[in-house]
Chain A
């Protein structure tokens, strides 16, 4: 069974701090790892990492994938209060897992002014 574990479960920082969120996984025939941000409503897509794209960056957010050690990190620099959200990591695999994404429990990030 596919497994995704995120750490820490929650994190409280002040504006301007840099944070690193962790995601480790076990999946059959890894295909993809995705990061989502969830505020009040539905999760919104941030990044997708695959074997051919192990590093992504968008503004203050960046993510890398280590396929050998089976983990990914999401970095947020110069945090703002608007970054407060739950960050979710999900993995897609092959075999019996083909087509679906398994989510971790999420990291709750709180950014204080």
Chain B
């Protein structure tokens, strides 16, 4: 299996622009997670899905963030409008079982200027 695939690897954008991050989970994994990592706050869970349904979005910072999972093999995280404080590495991860090992993608490094 190719593992969790994220795109793009790097994204540099100006404040106010829309940003869309993409993720393809491992086939057969029913759980998909979006995490954000910064030096100050570490790895923070933003939202997770089970069988394409959002289960917990309490970690989404504010209304500027939204996530979708239209099918079992694709998810997006959108930030609109982006702000400099959104700069971070965004990881997508998937797992086979609840509370089980997460398989992480290589992340998207987002820089908002």
Q: Which residues of A contact B (CB under 8 A)?
A: 31-32, 34, 41-45, 48, 88, 90, 92-93, 96, 98-106
Residue total for B at the interface (Cβ-Cβ under 8 A) = 22
Q: With A42-B91, A88-B43, A106-B42 in contact, is A101–B106 under 8 Å at CB? A: no
A28 to B73 alpha-carbon distance, docked (Å):
31
Chain B neighbourhood of A41, CB < 8 A: 106-107
Would you call A31 and B107 a contact (CB within 8 A)? no
The residues of A that contact B70 with a CB separation of less than 8 Å are none
Please name the residue on chain A nearest to B48 by beta carbon: A100
Chain B residues, Cβ within 8 Å of A43: 43, 91, 102, 104
| Residues of the A chain whose Cβ atoms lie less than 8 Å from the Cβ of B56 | 96, 99-100
Nearest CB in chain A: distance from B36 CB, A: 11
Q: Given A42-B91, A99-B31, A100-B48, are A32 and B100 also a contact pair (CB < 8 Å)?
A: yes
Q: What is the minimal beta-carbon distance from B68 to any residue of chain A, in angstroms?
A: 18
Alpha-carbon separation in the docked complex, A104 to B106 (Å): 20
Q: Which of B43, B50, B105 contacts A103 (CB 8 A)?
A: B43
